[in-house]
Structure 1
Amino acid sequence: MLRELATVSFYADDLAAAERWYTELLGIEPYYRVAGGYLEYRVGESEDELGLIDARYRPGGLTPAPAGAVVFWDVDDLPAALDRLVELGARVHEPVREHGDGEGFATASVVDPFGNVLGIMANPHHRELRARRTAAATG
């Protein structure tokens, strides 16, 4: 039934500030926007979608404390990515934590300046997938 992740949506009371922050973090401009309330980035080789929505449209209308599901984005250098997020004004929600038997799988998360939990991970499976895609594209 579930085929792939389509869009991760984050809410912000100040959408313009959120756009500036995520544009700085990602190094790209949004590719899509709806006046008055929504913009979207395509991130990475697989063009995963990250949407920013004006908090007026948050279901229930309340600003929740950071909780619930955390979406993790794969990064090449987990400690450097965490440092960069903190440098940009995020606060550590969960510090770097190793998982498994030293196989290179680790996670961390931050709360962005708009109250959203942003997860990051180092994942050997994703590194292998990227290497295979690169080899297929060049070979």
Structure 2
Amino acid sequence: MNNGVNTIIYPVKDLDAAKAVYGALVGVEPYADEVYYVGYKLGAQDIGLDPNGHKKGMTGPIAYHDVDDIAGTVKTLVDAGAQTIDEPRDVGGGKLIATLKDADGNVIGLAQNPA
């Protein structure tokens, strides 16, 4: 089941500059503030800053759809014609993410929260 987009990750080159801008935008302190990721929570919405995103090939923000079964959703999307970019992987605390692209090259992010 797709529970909607609850996470958006932005690739950034200057983490301090990005923190200033996004901190001003969202008006809250980050819940995660590490050299490899800064995350803000706004209710159920997660806004993330990835200083390594460009190196990983991110060309813009990626919206992550929260799903109940990430492996099953990847298979369903691949069967429908999507191509896998990154297989599901644990990014900490049991949260799994994966990325795929559609026929036009648009990136689709998937996220599965721990049970």
TM-score range, shorter chain: 0.3 to 0.5
Q: Which has the larger radius of gyration?
A: 1
- Structure richer in strand, relative to its length: 2
Q: TM-score, normalised to structure 2's length?
A: 0.47
Q: Which has the higher contact order (CA 8 A, sep 6+)?
A: 2
